């Protein structure tokens, strides 16, 4: 299979499989959940950046918030791929499903700057929407997994904040759920499954993200690597990855897990034996219970 064919496979998989429980906009919301769509959280690249905010219909006091970041190889997908958003909102959370600039619109660090701008906007407007600004988590899959890992580890990296507004607010998050996100792009091909996607070519998603073939731009790749920023100040992480993933090798999560453990960060890592890149294995009752338990422990604690 040519790399172009595998890239097309990556994009189709990202659109069809990379969400733990994709929620099309036309699907009715679960009972007890409401949504406000197309809230403008920043302006960048000549356009509005939008998010959809899911909340419990009835809530007593400020609720914890989870920022959902969609996948799509950094060049596809949208906030309408809301993942676990409606389900989490039915369990006492607000969930903001965000858009961010894709790689054909702007290269890195635009994507993480947009994510950080969304967190800052949500903090600045927490009172208006009944959110607890001290209890914000982030959850994403694939490219979204990479970006939430970046949110988690780069809380002190001022050069990644951007100028998306509300700069007096913090962009730090208090918990991260990372589903099969890439980390060190330079090591992806060396650990790829036979017949899996090639990441070194200039037309790979990672090369397009950083604006050049990754092996020829190690400094740019390092800046886009969440492991670069790991410190003891990172929030707790929950990581899941399929052992048969043909697009993002499971070693990518292994590398981040090892770095977090070395830094003394609380982290749990679960490898799913028969899972590939997304799919139903990531939306089982057991996985949802695991995610909910993790978020409850870190975002609902007294």
Q: What is the pLDDT of residues 106-124, one digit of tens each?
A: 999 999 999 999 999 999 9
| Bond into 184 cis (ω within 30) | no
Q: Are 94 and 53 in contact (CB under 8 A)?
A: yes
The separation between the first and the last C-alpha atoms of the chain, rounded to the nearest angstrom, is 53
Average pLDDT per consecutive 10 residues, the chain (302 residues; last block may be shorter): 46 41 56 96 97 94 97 97 88 97 98 98 98 98 98 96 96 98 98 94 98 98 98 98 98 98 98 96 96 98 70
Query: What is the pTM (predicted TM-score) of this model?
Result: 0.92
b/e per residue 41-71 (b: at least 16 CB within 10 A): bbebeeeebbbbbbbbeebeebbbbbbbbbb
Residue 58 has what DSSP assignment?
A: S
Helix (H) or strand (E) holding 253: helix 251-263
Quote the pLDDT of residue 235: 98
Summarised one tens digit per residue, pLDDT across range 4-38 is: 444 444 444 444 333 443 444 445 788 999 999 99
Supply the CATH classification number for the domain 3-299: 3.40.50.1820
Phi-psi group of 264: left, alpha or beta (phi > 0 → left; psi -120 to 50 → alpha; rest → beta): left
Quote the pLDDT of residue 130: 97
- φ and ψ of 265, to 5 deg: -85, 140
Q: Domain limits of the chain?
A: 3-299
Write the burial class of residue 11 (CB in 10 Å: 0-12 exposed, 13-18 middle, 19+ buried): middle
């Amino acid at each position: 299979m040519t790399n172009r064919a595998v890239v097309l496979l990556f994009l189709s998989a990202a659109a069809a499989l990379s969400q733990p429980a994709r929620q099309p906009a036309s699907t009715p919301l679960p009972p007890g959940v409401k949504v406000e769509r197309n809230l403008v959280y920043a302006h960048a690249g000549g356009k509005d950046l939008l998010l959809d905010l899911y909340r419990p219909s009835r809530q007593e006091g400020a609720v914890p918030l989870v920022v959902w970041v969609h996948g799509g190889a950094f060049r596809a997908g949208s906030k309408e791929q809301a993942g676990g958003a409606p389900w989490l909102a039915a369990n006492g959370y607000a969930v903001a499903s965000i858009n961010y600039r894709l790689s054909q619109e702007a290269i890195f660090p635009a994507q993480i700057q947009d994510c950080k701008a969304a967190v800052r906007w949500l903090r600045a407007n927490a009172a208006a929407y009944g959110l607890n600004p001290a209890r914000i988590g982030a959850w994403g899959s694939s490219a979204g997994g990479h970006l939430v890992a970046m949110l988690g580890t780069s809380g002190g990296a001022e050069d990644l904040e951007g100028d998306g507004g509300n700069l007096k607010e913090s962009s730090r998050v208090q918990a991260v759920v990372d589903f099969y996100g890439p980390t060190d792009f330079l090591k992806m091909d060396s650990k790829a499954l036979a017949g899996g996607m090639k990441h070194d070519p200039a037309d790979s998603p990672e090369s397009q993200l950083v604006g050049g073939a990754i092996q020829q731009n190690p400094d740019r790749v390092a800046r886009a690597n969440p492991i670069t920023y790991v410190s003891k100040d990172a929030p707790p992480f929950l990581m899941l990855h399929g052992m048969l993933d043909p697009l993002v090798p499971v070693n990518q999560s292994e590398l981040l897990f090892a770095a977090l453990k070395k830094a003394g960060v609380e982290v749990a890592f679960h490898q799913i034996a028969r899972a590939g890149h997304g799919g139903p294995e990531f939306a089982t009752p057991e996985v949802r219970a695991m995610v909910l338990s993790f978020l409850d422990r870190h975002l609902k604690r007294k």
